[in-house]
Amino acid sequence: MFALDDTIVAISTPVGEGGIGIVRFSGPEAEMILEQVFSPAGHAVDVPALESHRFYYGHAVDRDSGATIDEVLAVLMRAPRTYTRQDVAEIHCHGGIVPLRQTLKRVLRHGARLAEPGEFTLRAFLNGRIDLAQAEAVLDIVRAKTDVSLRVAMQQLDGGISAPVRAIRHRLVQALAHVEASLDFPDDEIPELDVAAVLQRAQQDLQELLQQADQGLVYREGVRTAIVGRPNVGKSSLLNALLRTSRAIVSPLPGTTRDTVEETLNLRGIPLCLVDTAGITDSTDLIEKLGIERSHQALQQADLVLLVLDGSEALQAEDRQIAELLRNHTVIVVVNKSDLAQVAKHHTIEPEAPHVVLSALTGEGLAALEDAIEHTVFFGQVQTPELPAISNPRHSEVLSRALSQVAAAQHTLSNQGAADLLAVDLTAAASALGEITGETVSEDVLETIFASFCVGK
């Protein structure tokens, strides 16, 4: 996976019908392979004479048989001004699976090999075009679910996490060099450095980065939100109201929803994966029982639960039984059907949880529910206008580890511990931070990160 001396190829667009499909290849033989597969239209032009970073119209061809595969556009991008810092070529075919596969087959025949997942971005990292945090940001851009999550990922691609981490690591390395020089050359005059001040600054900077990690993770991963309740309380109506569209079937008959229905909602930049569940009740109907089992599964996987009650009816035993299932969950109680006469107060269920009264039918109270969701997701914290620098759980774990090592170094220093122990703590802290940018990362970690990429990126 870490080879750089061969040429890799992949279809870089989703498989299926579309306007265009792209076959991308990169490596030392990219230019030669393009010459074999692409024939410029209109006049004879040798591929080596093609201008870099310019599109040419022509055909993908099979030179062995003389057959024309597809009418295409081709571009040759010569190193180092490319994504991988190697020669890169792309053939833009019609977006059907047959022309794409036929073109890919010819590129493979002329010496390329199929790229591994994320291998183009891996080459960009290995060749120094981007660091590891920026490489991970590329995947976050592809997977962004909201405009805010896209902006967070773009900020990280621009160095939003790499720059502060490098600055902290640089100061720690300077402190480490000072300590090691004092150990190696005890009789020499070593320039003074306030190591305690360096550690204090590192501690503050790391804490500031970690402070918004939970917020960043929400924007990146989203919040899995289960809508639960007994039959006919308006769960599907609430899903439709939140989505502002008719996604789930709504009927006055109880038990309409027999399976979970999932949709993603952009709620003020927060990606919510809404899961409408079958009404939880005792049932002898086989299909309904299967739906209820899936409701229980959705409940166990949920980060947030919207417990829907019928405000036009008195609390029932089933409502309390469902509430008992939610003891270890983050819950918002939604008292629905405010457009009807309210016959009972529902504050006795989940009294510590937020309660919102609304009408899924008219939309009254919906904004209050959205406020409650935002408040609950972010633990009531006031959101700053700045985007969070940390959104990746790996980065959060590494920063926490580095902070612990800085604290250990502070303890060693304040207790006048041996200088060699202080050097060990500083080395561990600097090494941990290097895992974010890739300066000290292991091959196993690299393989794990890039294996999650799609082929062709």
Please report whether residue 48 resides in a domain: yes
- Residue-wise pLDDT for 66-111, tens only, equals 899 999 999 999 999 999 999 999 999 999 999 999 999 999 999 9
Do residue 244 and residue 337 come from a single domain? yes
Closest listed residue to residue 264, CA positions, set 368, 182, 144, 166: 144
Neighbours of 181 (CB within 10 A): 14
Do residue 32 and residue 123 come from a single domain? yes
**What pLDDT, on the 0 to 100 scale, is given for residue 341?**
82
In the predicted model, is pLDDT for residue 145 greater than 90? no
DSSP string, 101-159: HHHHHHHHHTT-EEPPTTHHHHHHHHTTSS-HHHHHHHHHHHH--SHHHHHHHHHHHTT
**What pLDDT, on the 0 to 100 scale, is given for residue 187?**
66
Do residue 233 and residue 361 come from a single domain? yes
**Do residues 376 and 354 lie in contact, with contact meaning Cβ atoms separated by under 8 Å?**
yes
Please report whether residue 446 resides in a domain: no
Distance separating alpha carbons of residues 277 and 298, to the nearest angstrom: 8
Tell me what the mean pLDDT of segment 392-409 comes to.
96
At 29, is the secondary structure helix, strand, or coil?
coil
Q: Between 65 and 435, where is the model more confident?
A: 435
Closest listed residue to residue 227, CA positions, set 328, 305, 317: 305
**What pLDDT, on the 0 to 100 scale, is given for residue 154?**
94
Q: How many domains does the chain have?
A: 3
Please report whether residue 454 resides in a domain: no
* The dihedral sign for the CA sequence 199, 204, 208, 210: positive
**Mean of per-residue pLDDT scores for the chain:** 87
Do residue 284 and residue 373 come from a single domain? yes
Please report whether residue 387 resides in a domain: no
Please report whether residue 449 resides in a domain: no
* The dihedral sign for the CA sequence 53, 57, 60, 66: negative
At 97, is the secondary structure helix, strand, or coil?
helix
Do residue 181 and residue 75 come from a single domain? no
CATH number at residue 235: 3.40.50.300
Do residue 152 and residue 164 come from a single domain? yes
| Range of the structural domain that residue 362 is part of | 219-377
Do residue 160 and residue 118 come from a single domain? no
Last residue within a domain, chosen from 353, 377, 401: 377
Task: Report how far apart, in Å, the C-alpha atoms of 235 and of each of 139, 292, 356 are.
Answer: 34, 14, 14
Do residue 73 and residue 123 come from a single domain? yes
- Per-residue confidence at 296, pLDDT binned at 50, 70, 90? low
CATH number at residue 15: 3.30.1360.120
Do residue 226 and residue 373 come from a single domain? yes
Do residue 229 and residue 373 come from a single domain? yes
Please report whether residue 64 resides in a domain: yes
Burial, 366: exposed, middle or buried (Cβ in 10 Å; 0-12, 13-18, 19+)?
middle
